[in-house]
Amino acid sequence: MSDAVLPARAPSPVVVPLEARLLRFGLLLALAVLVAGLVLPLGTLLLRAFQDPEGSFVGLRNFAEYATTPSLRLAAWNSLWTAALTTLLVVPLAFGFAYALTRACIPAKGFFRAVMLLPVLAPSLLPALALIYLFGNQGMLRELLFGNSIYGPIGIIVAQVFYCFPHAALILVVALSTSDARLYEAATVLRAGHLRIFGTVTLPMARYGLVSASVVVFTLVVTDFGIPKVIGGQFPVLATDVYKQVVGLQNFNMGAVVGLVLLLPALLAFAADRWANRQRSGLLSGRAVPYVPRPRRARDLPLLALCLLVAVALVGLVAVAVWGSLVTFWPYNLNLTLQNYDFDRFDTSGWAALWNSVRIAATAAIVGTALIFGTAWLLERGAPGGALASAVRFIAGVPLAVPGLVLGLAFILFFNHPANPLGFLYGTLAILVLNGVVHFYTVMHLTAVTAIRQLDPEFESVGASLKVPAVVTFGRVTVPICLPAILDIAVYAFVNVMTTVSAVIFLYGPDTKPASVAVVHMDEAGQSSAAAAMAVTILAITASVKLAQIATTGAVNRLTQGWRAR
């Protein structure tokens, strides 16, 4: 019947337009990078754990050997209890700090926020070096330890508290910022006291934030390499074990086994965090009214004291490192000098190491941001879904669960394999850039996705109805609107690649040693002043980049965000 009404037409063949093919190609590119930089290396690591050094399959023999070696088991136990103790110390401290910033009336919140982020900008080695200045064999305050040694669990835990504090505090600030003033008013009207309100409203709202923070801190401590390397002394932990097996004993197979063991707590933590995040959604309705604290001395004064104490500790530890790097011979000759910054005297790569780090970090920031933001946009808006998009989406979430040391080990096993056509990358800056991008992929990806999801979902549809290619809409609308988020991603990449030790310790070549590795080497060689100087220089560079970002925010906003004004 319809044929009588309508002019008969041959069904037109389904043509995939050029644009759709280009978008698909973009996703394939992202998948290729993630497969080469994550899936294949991790696969190689897994395989090597079941092989002997000659490459023949030995089943679980490596694991059996691991389980029966008491020193290795001890390292695992040490990692667990130091991480647990650090978590118990950091999370309440960070909660108090975050509570003060979000739920109390204290002055200088901006200053406290800035100070809170200080440890993020420094390599984890810096607090360890500063602690050695204070409490080490030649430490000024050594007597305060009553004969205990800072080299070992005490040093590790104190340094980890410093290093993990901002990570926990950031999560808790976010968790405590999402509040509904109406709930507090309801509780007050129902005559609940301050404590009861805290227990029935505040804590339940923040509980998933607390889970997240604990999980993140625990994972950071278990997987961190720099701190136990510098201040751990003879106290074995998992992270230093991997290094010992691989760099010291050249036993890659046992290294792979320890790497997999290291992956376990990280994977568990990752799963717990995903669970907590899922529970969190829906806590707050769209009509929530943000809570604005009113002054109350009984709450504000103790919290202000806590914030000041934390700020003094954070700034103080950095200041000690800076001071230590500037004195002639700690602690006997405290005359100030710049000789420790003459890095060429202490390490073969010298200042070149810093230049390497800057180049790696800048390239990772630029290339990584472009790749990650572009991919996030393709996943959210550009290309149709399907198996390819699901694969990319899944793999993008994995790096968060992979400790840097495991990733670095996986990289050497994969790229150093004689049969790998990508082997030419080994020892180049390119492999360090790829490692950096993959290592920090997930957080950058999530930032990009969050920014893109805030855009109206119909932008691309409108563009299509107006016959404007999606790529043009991406360039004219998506990127300008998301520019602040894009800058955040780039700075995050730069800072983290600049300060990481664990992922790159296996990967550098003779000409590509990064500054953070140079710090480890100078410390190993006993030149702790030079090591501190290098760590301070890294901090100076990351801090200037961060400050530059803050300074340019105003200009960037004027250029691209003028439309936000009403």
Partner 1 sequence: MSAELAVASAAAAAVAAPPYLVVEQVSKHFGTTIALERASLTVAAGEFVCFLGPSGCGKTTLLRAIAGLDPATSGRILQDGRDITFLPPAARDFGIVFQSYALFPNLSVNENVGYGLRGRAWPTARRTHRVAELLSLVGLSEHAKKYPAQLSGGQQQRVALARALAAEPGLLLLDEPLSALDAQVRLHLRQELRALQRRLGVTTVMVTHDQEEAMGVSDRIVVMSRGHIEQIGTPETIYRHPASAFVAGFVGHASHFDAVVDASPGTLLADGITLPCLGARKMLYGTPVQAFIRPEDVALGPSATALEGHFAARVMHQEFLGPVCRVTLQVGRLQLEADVNPSVAPAIGEVLLAALPAERLMVFPRHV
What is d(CA 189, CA 83) in angstroms, rounded to the nearest whole number? 42
Q: What is the maximal distance between C-alpha atoms in the chain?
A: 103
As measured in angstroms, the least distance from the Cβ of 23 to partner 1 is 12
Would you call 189 exposed, middle or buried from its count of C-beta atoms within 10 A (0-12, 13-18, 19+)? exposed
**Residue closer to partner 1, measured from CB, 398 or 468:** 468
Binding of partner 1 by 555 (CB under 8 A): no
Q: Which stretch binds partner 1 (CB under 8 A): 63-71, 300-308, 444-452, 455-463?
A: 455-463
As measured in angstroms, the least distance from the Cβ of 545 to partner 1 is 26
Residue with tokens 């000098």: 337
- # residues contacting partner 1 (CB under 8 A): 38
Binding of partner 1 by 464 (CB under 8 A): yes
**Residue closer to partner 1, measured from CB, 419 or 565:** 565
As measured in angstroms, the least distance from the Cβ of 11 to partner 1 is 7
Q: Which two tokens stand for residue 222?
A: 């278990």
Side-chain-side CA neighbours of residue 447 (13 Å): 21
As measured in angstroms, the least distance from the Cβ of 383 to partner 1 is 12
What is d(CA 163, CA 77) in angstroms, rounded to the nearest whole number? 21
Task: Answer yes or no: are the C-beta atoms of 360 and 352 closer than 8 Å.
Answer: no
Binding-site member from 287, 297, 558, 564 for partner 1 (CB under 8 A): 564
At how many degrees (to 10) do helices 351-377 and 515-524 cross? 140
**Residue closer to partner 1, measured from CB, 251 or 561:** 561
What is d(CA 427, CA 510) in angstroms, rounded to the nearest whole number? 7
Measured over the CA atoms of residue 451, residue 452, residue 456 and residue 459, the dihedral's sign is positive
Strand partners, 333: 329
Cis peptide before 123 (omega within 30 of 0): no
Binding of partner 1 by 558 (CB under 8 A): no
Binding-site member from 110, 385, 421, 562 for partner 1 (CB under 8 A): 562
**Residue closer to partner 1, measured from CB, 352 or 483:** 483
As measured in angstroms, the least distance from the Cβ of 386 to partner 1 is 14
**Residue closer to partner 1, measured from CB, 17 or 421:** 17
Which parts of 473-512 interact with partner 1 (CB under 8 A)? 476-477, 480-481
Question: Amino acid letter at 315?
Answer: V
Binding of partner 1 by 419 (CB under 8 A): no
As measured in angstroms, the least distance from the Cβ of 373 to partner 1 is 16
Q: Which two tokens stand for residue 374?
A: 């572009």
Binding of partner 1 by 462 (CB under 8 A): yes
Q: What is the distance of C-alpha 86 from the center of its chain?
A: 18
As measured in angstroms, the least distance from the Cβ of 446 to partner 1 is 23
Binding of partner 1 by 556 (CB under 8 A): no
Binding of partner 1 by 296 (CB under 8 A): no
Which parts of 222-281 interact with partner 1 (CB under 8 A)? none
Cα Rg, the chain, nearest whole Å: 26
**Residue closer to partner 1, measured from CB, 9 or 191:** 9
Binding of partner 1 by 385 (CB under 8 A): no
In order, the DSSP letters of 398-447 are SGGGS-HHHHHHHHHHHHT-TT-GGGGGTTSHHHHHHHHHHHTHHHHHHH
Side-chain-side CA neighbours of residue 488 (13 Å): 14
As measured in angstroms, the least distance from the Cβ of 482 to partner 1 is 10
Binding of partner 1 by 197 (CB under 8 A): no
Which parts of 7-46 interact with partner 1 (CB under 8 A)? 7, 9, 11-12, 14, 17, 19-20
As measured in angstroms, the least distance from the Cβ of 455 to partner 1 is 9
* Cβ atoms within 10 Å of 329's Cβ, excluding its own: 13
Closest to 254 (Cα-Cα) out of 50, 406, 43: 50
H runs (alpha helix) in 122-224: 125-135, 153-177, 181-189, 194-197, 203-223
Binding of partner 1 by 565 (CB under 8 A): yes
Strand partners, 260: none
As measured in angstroms, the least distance from the Cβ of 554 to partner 1 is 17
Binding-site member from 70, 281, 335, 456 for partner 1 (CB under 8 A): 456
Binding-site member from 119, 228, 463, 514 for partner 1 (CB under 8 A): 463
As measured in angstroms, the least distance from the Cβ of 26 to partner 1 is 17
| DSSP 8-state assignment for residue 178 | S
| DSSP 8-state assignment for residue 51 | B
Binding of partner 1 by 561 (CB under 8 A): yes
Task: Answer yes or no: are the C-beta atoms of 495 and 413 closer than 8 Å.
Answer: no
| Interacting residues toward partner 1 by CB under 8 A | 1-2, 4-7, 9, 11-12, 14, 17, 19-20, 456-459, 461-469, 472, 476-477, 480-481, 560-566
